[in-house]
Every structure is written in structure tokens, then in C-alpha cells.
């Protein structure tokens, strides 16, 4: 890949926005809205579809003839979505990260997962991802779905537990910000040891007395109690 590549990006959402920035200086990027597909460069080496999952099918249906590879960037859309369309070389170009326009990111460390219609396209997509990231892997649609579900547990649900802590603390005149050093330390630990070994707290100690004391203290907060019981039980079961 000595010659400069041309890349179409369909979609100006968070992912499209960041992919454009990530390719800056490394490829010529044409960014188009899903409703102005006529602006796409038909000679582009790569066309990335970065629209919401439910809009991918419709974009594919309206896609003009394109010479290069077409790939979507969705974690949860199987590669089969391409089957009924006229694309010859297609695939998936999935960055495992959460994107927001206001927040800069170090693209080099974002893992990219590649899947493709054929070995040739697979290698091409791999090389395009290497323009951005040092962390490129292959993953089939089933693995990608697994990654997505794992990310829901590891990020979406984790964030929700923080939201619950936040309102519970607020109610007691306390400040969630005071938990940040503790949260940072908890994250730092799993960068060096597996989370199952980093587990602390009453449940992993088998301290049933403290668990019951906490549940009593939660009083009539039924939702917090249900979550407390379920996750404590799960930690207890996971002990070696």
C-alpha cells in the first residue's frame, strides 16, 4: 500500500466522525450523509458504512456501483447482511470503542475486528485498519456479537452501577466524585491482573453478615436490594 488510498465514509455520527479523523493524513476521505450517496467516489478503495444498525440495510439497497471494498462498522450486524446486495468484496471493519464527538481518542490502541467475504478482502481490510490502529484482529460475526455482549456487561452495565451509586450517595448528602480514586484504582488493577483475581468486597470474603447488614441498610430500595443480592450471589459462586 504505497499509493494513497481513497476512502468513502457514509454517516456523520460519532463513529464516522472519528474514523474520518483517524484516517486524516493517511488516506483521502470522502464523508457523505446516508441520503446523499451520489457524492460517493466510485473509485474509492474502501467504502465504510457507519450508520445505525437498523439503517445499514437501506444504505446497502441504495448504494451506487463501487469499485472497492464495502464494509460496515457495526459490532452487532452479521456479515450476512451483504449477501443480497451487489457488492463483490465486502466485510466488517469494527472498532471496539465508545465514541463521542467531544472526546479525543488515541486511535492506535483501539482494537479493530475484521471479517470479510474472502481472504483477499480480509487482508485488504486488515491493512486499512493497520493505518489507524496497532491492534487489529480477525473475528467472525459470532465472535463480534460476543464482544458486543461482553462490552454491554463491562461498560454499559458498569456505567449503570455507577449511576445507581451516584443517586444513592446524593440521597445521603454525599458526592459520587469521592468514589473516583477508588474506581480508578479498581480499573488500574484489572490492567495487570485478571478481574476474578482482583475481586474484593464482602461477597468474595464470604462475609454473609456484612451482606445482610448492607441489605438491611438498603431498607425499601427493592431494586438496589435485588441487584445487591444477585451480584453478591454470583461473586460467592465464583469463589475458588
Residues 93-112, interacting with its own copies (CB under 8 A): 96-98, 100, 103, 105-106, 109-111
Q: Which string of x and - marks every residue 15-34 that binds its own copies (by CB under 8 A)?
A: --------------------
Whether 136 and 91 have beta carbons less than 8 Å apart is answered as: no
131 is a site residue for its own copies (CB under 8 A) = no
Partner residues linked to 157 by β-bridges:
none
57 is a site residue for its own copies (CB under 8 A) = no
User: 57 or 143, CB closer to its own copies?
Assistant: 143
Q: Which string of x and - marks every residue 187-206 that binds its own copies (by CB under 8 A)?
A: xxxxx--xxx-xxxxxxx--
163 is a site residue for its own copies (CB under 8 A) = yes
Angle between helices 222-238 and 158-171 (to 10 degrees): 130
213 is a site residue for its own copies (CB under 8 A) = yes
Whether 15 and 99 have beta carbons less than 8 Å apart is answered as: yes
Q: Which of 119, 172, 219, 222 binds its own copies (CB under 8 A)?
A: 172
Considering the complex, what minimum distance in angstroms separates the CB of residue 73 from its own copies?
15
Whether 20 and 31 have beta carbons less than 8 Å apart is answered as: yes
Considering the complex, what minimum distance in angstroms separates the CB of residue 205 from its own copies?
9
In angstroms, rounded to a whole number, what is the distance separating the alpha carbons of residues 14 and 97? 11
Q: How far is CA 126 from CA 49, 92, 147, in A?
A: 16, 10, 18
Residue 81: CA count within 13 A, CB half-sphere: 24
Stretch that binds its own copies, among 36-44, 82-90, 119-127, 164-172 (CB under 8 A): 164-172
User: 42 or 195, CB closer to its own copies?
Assistant: 195
Using CB under 8 A, which residues numbered 135 to 154 contact its own copies?
A: 135, 137, 139, 142-143, 145-154
Considering the complex, what minimum distance in angstroms separates the CB of residue 33 from its own copies?
21
DSSP string, 108-157: GGS-EEEEESSHHHHHHHHHHHHHH-S-EEE--HHHHHHHHHHHIIIIII
Amino acid at each position: 500500500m504505497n499509493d494513497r488510498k481513497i476512502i468513502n465514509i457514509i454517516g456523520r455520527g460519532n463513529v464516522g466522525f472519528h474514523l474520518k479523523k483517524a484516517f486524516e493524513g493517511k488516506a483521502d476521505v470522502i464523508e457523505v450523509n446516508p441520503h446523499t450517496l451520489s457524492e460517493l467516489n466510485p473509485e474509492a478503495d474502501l467504502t465504510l458504512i457507519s450508520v445505525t444498525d437498523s439503517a445499514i440495510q437501506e444504505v446497502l439497497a441504495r448504494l451506487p456501483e463501487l469499485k472497492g471494498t464495502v464494509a460496515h462498522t457495526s459490532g452487532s450486524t452479521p456479515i450476512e447482511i451483504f449477501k443480497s446486495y451487489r457488492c463483490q468484496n465486502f466485510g466488517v471493519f469494527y472498532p471496539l470503542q465508545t465514541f463521542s464527538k467531544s472526546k479525543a481518542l488515541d486511535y492506535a490502541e483501539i482494537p479493530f475486528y475484521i471479517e470479510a467475504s474472502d481472504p483477499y478482502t480480509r487482508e485488504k481490510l486488515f491493512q486499512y485498519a493497520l493505518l489507524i490502529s496497532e491492534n487489529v484482529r480477525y473475528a467472525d460475526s459470532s465472535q463480534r456479537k460476543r464482544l458486543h455482549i461482553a462490552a454491554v456487561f463491562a461498560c454499559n452495565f458498569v456505567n449503570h452501577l455507577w449511576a445507581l451509586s451516584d443517586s444513592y450517595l446524593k440521597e445521603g448528602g454525599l458526592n459520587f466524585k469521592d468514589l473516583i480514586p477508588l474506581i480508578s484504582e479498581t480499573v488500574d488493577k484489572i490492567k495487570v491482573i485478571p478481574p476474578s483475581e482482583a475481586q474484593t468486597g464482602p461477597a468474595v470474603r464470604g462475609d454473609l453478615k456484612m451482606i445482610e447488614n448492607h441489605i438491611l441498610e438498603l431498607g425499601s430500595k427493592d431494586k438496589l436490594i435485588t441487584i445487591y443480592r444477585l451480584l453478591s450471589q454470583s461473586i460467592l459462586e465464583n469463589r475458588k
